[in-house]
Amino acid sequence: METIITILVGVLVTVAVYLLLSKSLVRVILGTAILSHAVHLLLMTMGGLKKGAVPLLGENAESYTDALPQALILTAIVISFAVTSFLLVLAYRTYKETGSDNLATLRGFKDE
């Protein structure tokens, strides 16, 4: 299970990186969203998969699956939600302000 999930993580990362290297801002944002999916899975995998019961003590199992990564991922999910929403709004504000969502034209102000 871990192996295939790791490979899945790799595929997600590949896709995300490819999207990040796009011109279109929306693609980039989507890329970051997928990146965060990937890292959540990675964190999960690193804690070990299916190693025990659901981490609810009422379940009366001998061993529980590693709860710490779950807590971390939860935090990470919320943070990435916050960032993604901000980035999205930024994207549309930028589009409204500059009339472009093409990063190749949004190079910033020229010095000379």
Provide the minimum distance between the beta carbon of 60 and another protein in the complex, in angstroms, as a whole number.
11
Q: Buried (b) or exposed (e) across 78-106, using 16+ Cβ within 10 A?
A: eebeeeeeeeeeebeeeeeeeeebeeeee
Provide the minimum distance between the beta carbon of 50 and another protein in the complex, in angstroms, as a whole number.
4
Distance from C-alpha of 42 to C-alpha of 110, rounded to nearest angstrom: 40
Residue 18 CB contacts under 8 Å (≥ 6 apart), including other chains: 31
Provide the minimum distance between the beta carbon of 85 and another protein in the complex, in angstroms, as a whole number.
5
Residue in the structure block whose two tokens are 């807590």: 71
- How many other C-beta atoms lie within 10 A of the C-beta of residue 65? 17
Distance from C-alpha of 81 to C-alpha of 60, rounded to nearest angstrom: 34
Provide the minimum distance between the beta carbon of 63 and another protein in the complex, in angstroms, as a whole number.
8
